Structure 1
Amino acid sequence: MALVRALRGSFFCPVARHSVCCFHDNATRPPGSNPLSSSPSTSSKDKLTDEISRYVYHHRQSDSFFQHKYEAVMALEEVARRYRDEYAAFITGSSMNGVGTNTSDTDITLINRDNQAALSRSEVINFLENLKTYYEEAGNYGEINIIHGKVPLLTVRDMERDIPFDVTLDGSSAVRNTYMLQLYSACDYRVVPLIMVVKDWAKKRGIKAAHQGLLSSYGISLMVLHYLQVQQPWVVPSLHKTMKQHLYLDIMEMQNRREHDLPETPTSNNTTSLGELLCGFFRYYAAFQFEDYIIQVAEARALHSQETINPAFSSGSLKKSFVKIEEPFSKSNVSHSILKRGHFMRLRTEFVVADDALFYDSNPSLSCIGLDVPKAED
């Protein structure tokens, strides 16, 4: 098995430093070449492509359900403005960025229209405590609690529509990240299915758990985007290079934009199928040198950690993180919590196991990586 993996891995980012046949054909990624070399036949991946399409159709957040959420958010904003009229409600995360499901959490952040200066932790908690009183008095909200975590938040449920919310304050970074992922999702039809499937796989395998020192949902999205950026030709480019002016709009211009409100995005010439890309994703990360390379979506590359001058990766405790994913705006390490080697080895093992499951099956299926396959409709 070790010899087989060494030979298969010879065309990709090597796991071991002594791996052979590494081609530096693309300066924007670690040593690697065709991420689909020696993998199952294209015809077998056609079946996998069909399964992915059905999976997304079955699980993706419907337009009607999003509209249901949106109406609830507008009602929530109306109550918040009774307390502070200058605040606007922004939907963030999966519910808004294009990869949401009908079971996605509904994350809301309230942004001050007039002054977006950061508040202190005590000011945020005081704001949320006062806001809690307004929701209690409104009558149609329940399960209202303040969570004193790293980022304080208010949990509240719209009892009429049966929608729970996590409400934070002044989360401008979350708004900007959400908008960026919206634009990437609009670039190519393959972005959403791949992120959705990989996230669900990671959740199923118990590695989408940043609070346990593993991957965050956002980190997984960035990993998928990086993989799509280093394809030949690219599936998505760096939007920080091609659409920078849109990524740095005034925050109020990003409020709850729907797909038809988004600007035109770059178009790919890559014709690789969803099935091929999914197999290639697991092949790429099964052999990725996580400890040596920094994933940089803003630059569309993986940079060797010895070449960086970013203090988030070159000094302090963050340098000890086994996985290095640069946040495109703040340049911080999205995966800074992966500090235990045991957690890192578990993470890498899951990628290797998924790669093996798809590679050694002559007819690869989503069931190979533990996902239920929706039945084809007649």
Structure 2
Amino acid sequence: MFPNSSNLGRPPFHPKYQQPNNFFKLPLNLSPTVSHQQIIDAQFNCQNVDLPRTLLSGNLSPIPAQSLSYGNGSPIRTSTSPVFRGRKRLSNEQNVPLDVKRQRFHSPHHESTVANQTVPLPDERRYAAPGSVTPPLLHSYYVPDLVRSVPPFREAPFSEPREITLPVAKDELSQQVLNVFQVCQQRTCDLKKKELCRTQLQREIQLIFPQSRLFLVGSSLNGFGTRSSDGDLCLLVKEEPVNQKTEARYILSLVQKHFCTRLSGYIERPQLIPAKVPIVKFRDKVSCVEFDLNVNNIVGIRNTFLLRTYAYLESRVRPLVLVVKKWASHHEINDASRGTLNSYSLVLMVLHYLQTLPEPILPSLQKNYPESFSSSMQLHLVHQAPCTIPPYLSKNGSALGDLLLGFLKYYATEFDWNNKMISVREAKALPRPDGVEWRNKFICVEEPFDGTNTARAVHEKQKFDMIKDEFLKSWHRLKSKRDLNSILPLRATMQNR
């Protein structure tokens, strides 16, 4: 994505933020991720020890023997062969300091260790910081599976979607919808600012996790963003899910600490939010964009490019979605933290409506092109899908104004909330499942890849009734006046963008 983003005019990070000074003098609390790996416990004082550069680079070639200061400061020689087996003293143990003799080294695996490629388990012990009375312990493991699970990073050019001509507005309401879209839609320059920040942050985060990749996801990239949209980032440490309560929180705590200590001149207010999917919220001082960063939310990467394909498949999709999002925000039903709909669910609701018209405006991409939207596709290939799907030619010639009216009417009077689930994957309403994910939920919107309920935040009847009431009242107003101002103040909306 934007391989030449370094030339876009943003000043690079200051040199003092580029190279770490003894950054890895911090205690490393690492745990094995597979049961057969052996633990090496070594109690030592690491105040004046710098880890070798192979730990930063992620190189798995053997680490050469080197001198480390243990216990009383006496140097011992380390190598790839074990020094101790059990409690029996070996011949080459004669000159080892007494406090080191008391410790055990079990290492049948002679491979070198990359200390920052494992993730701690929740029961990992916490050790004292350098400089405290009790010296820290270094737990380090060789974890080849994690290295193989993420292909070596390469910055692939991001293909822009095909240019599509905006629909012609033949009535005043449709023209109002188009005007809001043209003023409020995210510009290319807005996207490049976010992409440039992603590129710089990726370089910094790879100092901690060398094999990781940072993806821009969500509305910034799926085609439905506005000029005021926040940026969503996904840090991929391996191409499989991580435990969001333990592993993801620990990884994000390291990232937050990194932002606070090394990037305080560029990043402000980094906060770790321990939600179901934990995030680090921060603001980039250069672009003035607010960001949310999560770890290994792989579904978020896949659905970003699925929605991006829908966005550019038909010219009426993006204007309609943007106006619906603005309308929902104005009526305060677009905030999952307050028990209403998140933007992702609103987008899926619009796509579902366009799929279920008597003459559909959109198909099911996952049914028509399963190979392009497979859950097993490697993540570094998913960005290619939006440019490989041909435009969808619908026989439905409805104007934007009529589609907006139809959308409000569909969810106000036609959709069976009690028994049906919204499914973009199947392009129809499905019977509501009976699982825990769907029980006691008033709105059911299926996530196209993992099948969860994207509208699970709506779990109070009062909030559900408020959402239905806004659909109904807005439909009646818009039908009688045919003026978008009746449900959305246009001047204020376009000023706020």
Instruction: Indicate the TM-score class for this superposition, using the shorter chain for normalisation.
Output: 0.7 to 0.9
**CA pair 298-204 structure 1, distance change in 2 beyond 3 A:** same
Does residue 48 of structure 1 match 2:176? no
Matched, 1:105 2:225: no
Give the TM-score of the pair, scaled to structure 1. Answer: 0.80
Matched ranges for 1:74-223 at <5 A:
74-112=199-237, 115-135=239-259, 136-138=261-263, 139-223=265-349
Aligned to 1:324: 444
Deviation at 1:120, TM superposition (A): 5.0
Equivalent position amino acid for 1:82 in 2: L
The residue that corresponds to 1:6 in the other structure is none
Match status 1:253 vs 2:377 = no
Map Cα deviations across residues 115-156 of structure 1 (whole Å, 9 max, x no partner): 434245222222112222322313422222211222211122
Partner residue of 2:466 out of 330, 333, 346: 346
Cα separation, 2, equivalents of 1:358 and 1:289: 22
Between the aligned partners of 2:458 and 2:370, the Cα distance in structure 1 is 30
Is contact 1:87-1:111 (8 Å) kept? Answer: yes
Measure, in 2, the Cα distance between the counterparts of 1:322 and 1:145.
Answer: 31
The equivalent of 2:409 in structure 1 is 283
Partner of 2:422: 295
Residue 303 of structure 1: CA displacement?
2.5
Q: Is the CA contact 2:244–2:277 (under 8 Å) kept in the aligned structure 1? A: no
SS in 2 for 1:91: strand
Q: How far off is 1:318 after superposition?
A: 2.5
Give the SS at the match of 1:339: coil
Q: Who wins on radius of gyration, i.e. which is larger? A: 2
What is residue 268 of structure 1 aligned with on the other side?
A: 394
Rounded to whole Å, the distance in 2 between the matches of 1:83 and 1:247 is 31
Contact 2:437-2:452 within 8 A present in 1 as well: no
SS of 2:287's equivalent? coil
Q: CA RMSD in A?
A: 2.2
Q: Deviations over 1:44-93 (max 9, x none)?
A: 97111111111101000001111121111111111111111111111111
Q: Structure 1 residues 121 and 232, CA, compared in 2 at 3 Å: closer, same or farther?
A: same
Number of the residue aligned with 2:128: none
Q: Which has the higher helix share?
A: 1
Take 2:456 and 2:291, find their aligned partners in 1: how far apart are those partners?
26
- Counterpart of 1:27? none
Shifted more, 119-128 versus 341-350: the winner is 119-128
The match for 1:72 is 197
- Structure 1 range deviating more: 246-255 or 225-234: 246-255
Write the letter of the residue equivalent to 2:280: L
Contact 1:185–1:192, Cα closer than 8 Å, also in 2: yes
Whichever residue aligns with residue 324 of structure 1, its letter is C
Instruction: After superposing the two structures, state which structure 1 stretch, 213-222 or 330-339, moved more.
Output: 330-339
Aligned residue for 1:99, secondary structure, equals coil
CA distance in 2, matches of 1:67, 1:149: 29
Change (3 A) 1:286 1:88: same
Alpha-carbon distance change, 213 to 268 in structure 1, aligned in 2, over 3 angstroms? same
Indicate if the aligned counterparts of 2:239 and 2:298 stay in contact, CA closer than 8 A. Answer: no
The residue type paired with residue 246 of structure 2 is S
1:59 matched to 2:184: yes
Counterpart pick for 1:358 among 473, 478, 481: 478
CA–CA distance in structure 1, aligned partners of residues 188 and 179 of structure 2: 17
Conservation of the 8 A alpha-carbon contact between 1:201 and 1:371: no
- The TM-score, its normalising length taken from structure 2, stands at 0.61
1:232 CA displacement = 2.8
Q: Measure, in 2, the Cα distance between the counterparts of 1:117 and 1:149.
A: 16
Contact (CA 8 Å) 2:244, 2:276: kept in 1 or not? no
Identical counterparts, % of pairs? 28
What residue ranges of structure 2 are gaps of 5+ in the alignment?
A: 1-168
Shift of 1:294: 1.5
**1:291 and 1:324 in contact (8 A); partners too:** no
Question: What is the rounded CA distance, in whole Å, between the counterparts of 1:282 and 1:145 in structure 2?
Answer: 37
What do the CA deviations read for 1:180-207 (whole angstroms, capped 9, x no partner)? 1101111101111111111111111111
In the TM superposition, structure 1's runs of 4+ consecutive aligned residues that sit over 3 Å from their partners are none
State the Cα distance separating 1:328 from its structure 2 match.
Answer: 1.5
Q: 1:242 aligns with which of 346, 362, 368?
A: 368
Seen in structure 2, the aligned counterparts of structure 1 residues 275 and 170 have a Cα distance that, compared at 3 Å, is same
The gaps in structure 1 that reach 5 residues or longer are 1-43, 306-312
Q: Give, in angstroms, the shift of residue 265 of structure 1.
A: 4.2
Aligned length: 321
Paired amino acid for 1:286: A
